[in-house]
Amino acid sequence: MIGAGSAGRQTGVKLGHFASLRWQQGDMTLPEVFVAGEGLQQGPVAVLGTLLHEAAHGLAEVRGVVDTSRGGRYHNRRFAALGRELGLDITVDGGLGWSATSVPESTADAYGDLVDQLGQTLTTHRRPEFLGLRGGRTNSNNPLACSCRCPRRIRVAPEVLAAGSIVCSVCAGEFRPGAA
C-alpha cells in the first residue's frame, strides 16, 4: 500500500510501517505494509530498504518476537537481529533505538531483479505536504509567510494553503511559502 507519509506529521516523513490484522479477506485477516509516496523519490534501493525494514517487523510478528516498544517507535536489539537476517545494515538512531536501516551493496545485488523492476516503475513520487516540511508543531498560531512574483506577501494558515492554490490578482502568480 502506498500513501501519504507527511500528512499531519509533526516531524519529517514516515517512510513506512507494518501493522498486523489491518485487512480482511473473507474469514482471514491480513497485515498491512505501507510505503510512503514521498520516499519513492529516493530510488529503488531506498524503497527496497523500506520494504525490508517493514519485512523485519513482519518476521517479528510471525515469530512472536517483541521488536519495538514506546508504541512501535523504539526498535530494540531483537529488531536489529531480524533486520540483519534480511540483509540490512542497522545502526542506533538516537531515541528510536535500532531503527536506522540501510541496504548494503551485497543485499542490493541479491535483490537485483527487484531493484531493476522498482527502478523502471518508480517514475512518480508524492510531494511532501507543507505541514511536514515545516517541522516542529503543526498547530502553530503563526501563519506561513507567503509571497508571489510581485512580490506581494500574505500570511496564511498552513491548512488553508494545503487545500489549494492562492493566486495573486495583480501578477497571477501563485502564493508560495517563503520570501520571493
Average pLDDT over residues 157-162: 76
Place of cell 517541522: 135
* 124: alpha, beta or left? (left if phi > 0; alpha if psi -120 to 50): beta
- Give 99-142 pLDDT, tens digit per residue: 999 999 999 999 999 999 999 999 888 887 754 344 444 455 67
Residue of higher predicted confidence among 74 and 38: 74
> Measured on CA atoms in the order 43, 45, 48, 52, is the torsion positive or negative?
negative
Asked if residue 149 lies in contact with residue 178, where contact means CB atoms within 8 angstroms, the answer is no
- Give 59-78 pLDDT, tens digit per residue: 999 999 999 998 888 999 99
The model carries a pTM of 0.68
